[in-house]
């Protein structure tokens, strides 16, 4: 009788714990991956210097191919970077990319390496999310560590492209190629 009572109590507490912990996980659920990446693109602009940017009317973020950010693209479009209005362009391999400050190449673009090679001398911060993106000449590459988004930087390439990356940004990168 007594044992049963205790057992039922324990079960009840266990159930409550399961419910509570699952709900709390739901509440504190991490932001969606591309929400974070959109925010990071925004933050990158603060630690990177583009030469000759002042002459431009707006700050252009180009996304190659399809848009993986879905609705979070609006967060970028409504923000200001380097005191300029932000414009987001979806570009394809044939489009001119001279006006882009940031070029994001999503994971599903297999031609990434080729694109990067193509724009090397142009002062564009290339951001990718594939494993060998930096080796192919990309400048910043997102890496997922557990449920966290981190990034690595190819400083050598940035210098070659004429882009100045703040040492502060380098300090939080998980890997820096120099």
Partner 1 sequence: MKKFFGNLLIKQKLTLIIMLTSLITMSLALVAFSAKNLSGFRTLQKNRFAILAEILANNSQAALSFNDQKSAEELLNALKAETHVQAAVIFDAKGKIFAQYRPSLTALPPQIDFKESHFYTSEGLHTYFPVTLDNQIIGEVYIQSDLEEFRDYLRSYALFGILILLACLAAALFIASRLQRTISVPITNLTQLAESVSRDKDYSLRAVKENHDELGNLVDRFNEMLSEIQKRQEALVRSNEALSRSNRDLEQFAYVASHDLQEPLRMVVNYVDLLTLQWKDTSEPEVRQSIGYITEGAKRSQQLIKDLLEYSKVRSESKFETISSEEIFKGALENLQYTIETTEAQISHAPLPMIVGDPIKIKQVFQNLLGNALKFRRKEESPKIHVNAYKKNGDWTFSIQDNGIGIDQEYSERIFVIFKRLHTREDYPGTGIGLAICKKIIEQHGGKIWVESKPNEGSTFYFTVPVIHS
- Please identify, using beta-carbon distances, which residue of 12 and 31 lies nearer to partner 1: 31
Helix ranges restricted to H, the chain: 2-27, 33-47, 73-77, 112-119, 155-160, 167-172
5 is an interface residue for partner 1 by CB under 8 A = no
> What is the contact mask toward partner 1 in residues 10 to 49, using x (rule: CB under 8 A)?
--------------------------x---x--x--xx--
Half-sphere exposure of 52 (CA within 13 A, CB side): 9
Of 145, 153, 150, nearest to 170 by C-alpha is 153
| Whether 122 contacts 98, CB under 8 Å | yes
State both tokens at 137: 């000449």
163 is an interface residue for partner 1 by CB under 8 A = no
Quote the least distance from Cβ 14 to partner 1, whole Å: 30
110 is an interface residue for partner 1 by CB under 8 A = no
Give the footprint of partner 1 on this chain (CB under 8 A).
36, 40, 43, 46-47, 148, 150-151, 166, 168-169, 171-172
């Amino acid at each position: 009788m007594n044992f049963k009572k205790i057992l039922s109590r324990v079960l009840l507490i266990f159930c409550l714990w399961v419910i509570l912990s699952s709900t709390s996980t739901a509440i504190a659920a991490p932001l969606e991956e591309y929400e974070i990446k959109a925010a990071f693109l925004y933050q990158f602009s603060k630690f990177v210097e583009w030469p000759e940017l002042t002459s431009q009317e707006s700050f252009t973020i180009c996304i190659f191919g399809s848009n993986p950010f879905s609705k979070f693209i609006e967060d970028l479009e409504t923000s200001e970077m380097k005191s300029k209005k932000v414009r987001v362009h979806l570009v394809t391999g044939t489009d001119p990319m001279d006006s882009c400050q940031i070029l994001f190449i999503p994971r599903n673009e297999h031609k990434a390496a080729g694109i990067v090679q193509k724009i090397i001398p142009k002062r564009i911060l290339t951001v990718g999310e594939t494993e060998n993106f930096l080796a192919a000449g990309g400048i910043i590459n997102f890496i997922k560590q557990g449920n966290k988004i981190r990034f690595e930087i190819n400083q050598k390439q940035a210098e070659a492209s004429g882009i100045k990356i703040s040492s502060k940004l380098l300090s939080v990168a998980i890997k820096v190629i120099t």
